[in-house]
Amino acid sequence: MMQEVVPEVISLFLPTTVPDVIAYFNPRMNPEIIASMPKIAVCTYIYALLFNGVFNLAEALFCLTVIRSREVDFKAIWEAFSFYFKTLALFVCQTLIIAFWSMFFVIPGIIALLNFSQSFYLLADNPDKNIFECMLESKLRMRGNRKMYIVYFISFLPYVLLGMLFPIVAQMIFGIDTSTVMGDFIILGLNAPFYLALGYWALGKTVFYELLKTGGFENFKYKDQDVFRENVDMSGFNRGE
Q: Is residue 225 part of a domain?
A: no
Q: Is residue 228 part of a domain?
A: no
Q: Is residue 44 part of a domain?
A: yes
pLDDT at 233 over 60: no
pTM of this structure: 0.75
Q: Is residue 51 part of a domain?
A: yes
Q: Is residue 239 part of a domain?
A: no
DSSP, res 180: S
CB 111 within 8 A of CB 146: yes
Among candidates 119, 63, 122, 123, which has minimal Cα distance to 95? 119
Boundaries of domain holding 182: 2-219
CB 2 within 8 A of CB 55: yes
Q: Is residue 118 part of a domain?
A: yes
pLDDT at 9 over 60: no
The tally of domains found in the chain comes to: 1
Residue 69, pLDDT score: 81
Residue 218, pLDDT score: 64
Residue 224, pLDDT score: 64
Least confident residue range of 93-107, 123-137, 158-172 = 158-172
| CA–CA separation, 46 and 169 (whole Å) | 31
CB 178 within 8 A of CB 107: no
Three-state DSSP state, 76: helix
Q: Specify the amino acid at residue 125.
A: D
Q: Specify the amino acid at residue 74.
A: F
